[in-house]
Amino acid sequence: MMSMPAGNERATPLPFDLVREELRQVDELLLQETWSAVSIVRDISHHILGAGGKRLRPALLLTTARAAGYQGDWAIRLALCMELLHTATLMHDDVLDHSDWRRGRVTAHRRWGQSASILTGDAMFARAMRILVDYGSLPILNAVTSAVIRVCEGEVMEIALHGDLDIAPETYLRVIDAKTAALISVCCQTGGMLGQTTPAQVEALSTFGFHLGMAFQMVDDLLDFTAKRERWGRPAGEDLKEGRITLPVIYTLQRATPADRERLRTILNTPSAAVEHMDEVLSLLHRYGGFEAARADAIAHTRAARESLLALPASAARDALAALADFVVARDQ
């Protein structure tokens, strides 16, 4: 889970505090929904789901549904759907990135093999779609499936850009918009669609999710350089090791002197060795303001996220969403 102070230490509760009981129900349903008579499918599913996780997406759907005035049971089922979709994308992402660790555990494909891991992820996608079909809202089905398509497109774009040291900030933003912000945005949009909201308010929640998702991924990319493994759940520097060029590096390459730019490019051109030079990379990122510029962009997105919430009536749920926007840039994992 995200590292956060206890609820009584925070003036405004976060969504995780506000919908704690509903999230507990989502966790129980996750294990039930992924039960399979095929033991390896069941084991893989429970391996990754049992490792915990932030549960950000279900928390957002549940809280935006509250902000929209919805009080029915379907919010929990649709929150379950979003976590299944997210988990499936993580399983596929780990295979694509050849990752060894996820949430502090060995990745499923390292333990059970790529084929079983991919197919179990496919089964999770199907289970999520079944929930959407059961609910029977074509607008929500269309919104969610469109977001899943964008997530897949974002992953493909990221693969195509592997090791590209000439990537522009605008290209990076398009990638994280698709691969991360799209699903977070549709969680918020779906919560709004459940309630008694106007089209403008649904759009405002979708916009909130977009900006929150952009900030969340930017901070994730910053933490990849600095977070400790025992809190991060995987070794620092994985992005460099996997040849993924993120915003702090992009800004530093733009700003560095020719000599330092060439030195950084030399290090990054051998991704497997880049982690060995992490101290030097960090020094360059700090020297040329790469970290600071990326964090400033994340903060700008959180401000835009908060502003979008003004379209909604005042409520504890709206306040929790605003508090989350601030927390995203302050978190340490």
Q: Which domain holds residue 85?
A: 7-330
- Is 35 inside any structural domain? yes
DSSP state of 275: G
As a whole number of angstroms, the longest Cα–Cα distance in the chain is 61
- Is 1 inside any structural domain? no
pLDDT tens for each residue of 69-88: 999 999 999 999 999 999 99
- Is 28 inside any structural domain? yes
pLDDT tens for each residue of 313-330: 999 999 999 999 999 998
Torsion of CA 51, 57, 59, 63, to 10 degrees: 180
User: Which range is least confidently modeled, 60-69, 201-210, 227-236, 268-277?
Assistant: 227-236
- Would you say 124 and 83 are in contact if contact means Cβ atoms under 8 Å apart? no
pLDDT tens for each residue of 44-72: 888 888 887 889 999 999 999 999 999 99
Res 15 pLDDT > 50: yes
| Alpha carbon distance 169, 182 (integer Å) | 18
Structure tokens at 112: 């059970």
- Is 87 inside any structural domain? yes
Res 261 pLDDT > 80: yes
What's the number of domains the chain is made of? 1
Supply the pLDDT for residue 3.
43
- Would you say 216 and 180 are in contact if contact means Cβ atoms under 8 Å apart? yes
Res 4 pLDDT > 50: no
What average pLDDT does the chain have?
91
- CA–CA–CA angle 52, 102, 109 (5° rounding): 115
User: What CATH number has the domain bearing residue 288?
Assistant: 1.10.600.10
- Is 2 inside any structural domain? no
pLDDT tens for each residue of 22-32: 999 999 999 99
User: Which range is least confidently modeled, 17-21, 242-246, 306-310?
Assistant: 242-246
Long-range contacts of 153-156 (CB under 8 A, 24+ apart): 153/178, 154/178, 154/179, 154/180, 154/182, 155/89, 155/92, 155/93, 155/96, 155/179
- Would you say 30 and 49 are in contact if contact means Cβ atoms under 8 Å apart? yes
